Amino acid sequence: MSNTKFNKRPIIISAWICAGKTYLTTKYDDITELASGDYKYILTEEQKAVKNKESLKSTVRAINPEWPKNYYDAILEEEKSGKHDIILIAPCMPFEEMRNYGIDFILAYPDPACKEDYKIRAKNRGANDEFIKRVDTKIEPDFEEFMKQPNEKIIIQKGEYLEDALVRVGILNRKN
C-alpha cells in the first residue's frame, strides 16, 4: 500500500520508459497508470487486434488531433477523481507545457548508467527494434533535459525499478 492516504491530492509521477509503471499498477490497488499511447494515437483495426501493444511502440500510427490536450485532461480528471494515491504518467515533453496546463508532477528517470538494463527490459517486454534503439539513443539526452526541470526529481539507480526508487525516497511502502 502506498504512503499517501493522508494527502488530499494524488501524487503524479512522470516516469521514463521501461521503469516499471505498469508493474506497479498490477501490484498496488491505489496506483494507476495513464498510458500516453491510449491518447496520442488513433489505432487501425489491425493495430487494435495486436495482443502485445509493446510491439506497436515506435511504429507508424496516426496521431490523435486532440493530443496532448486529451492526455492532460485525462490526467487532471484522474487526479480530481481521488480514486488513486499515485498516478503514473508517460515522460511527455515539453514538461513546461504540462506545468502550464496545471499538472503538478514528480519526475522519475534512470541514471544513464542504466542504459543496457533498460534496453534489456524493453526487449524482454516485447518492444520492437526501433523502440530498443530509442532507449539506446534517448536515455542520455532525456536525462539531461530531466535534470534541467524545476520539478521534484527521483533518479532511478542501477539495479532499481521505479518501485525500489519510490520506496527509497519514502513515497511508497512496499507490499510483501
Give mean pLDDT, residues 9-35.
Answer: 95
Checking if the pLDDT of 76 tops 90, the result is yes
pLDDT over 50 at 156, yes or no = yes
Rounded mean pLDDT, 14-39: 93
Phi, psi of 108 (to 5 degrees): -130, 115
The DSSP output letter for 93 is S
Q: Sketch out the chain's domains with CATH numbers.
A: 11-168 (3.40.50.300)
Scanning the structure block, which residue is given the C-alpha cell 519510490? 166
Q: Is the pLDDT of residue 94 over 90?
A: no
Provide the whole-model pTM: 0.87
**Contact 14/149 with Cβ under 8 angstroms?**
no
pLDDT of 133 over the 70 cut: yes
What is the overall mean pLDDT for the chain? 88
The SS3 assignment for 158 reads coil
DSSP class of 114? G
Q: Residue 4: pLDDT above 50? A: no
The helix (H) or strand (E) run that includes residue 136 is: helix 129-148
| N-terminal to C-terminal alpha carbon distance within the chain | 10
pLDDT of residue 174: 77
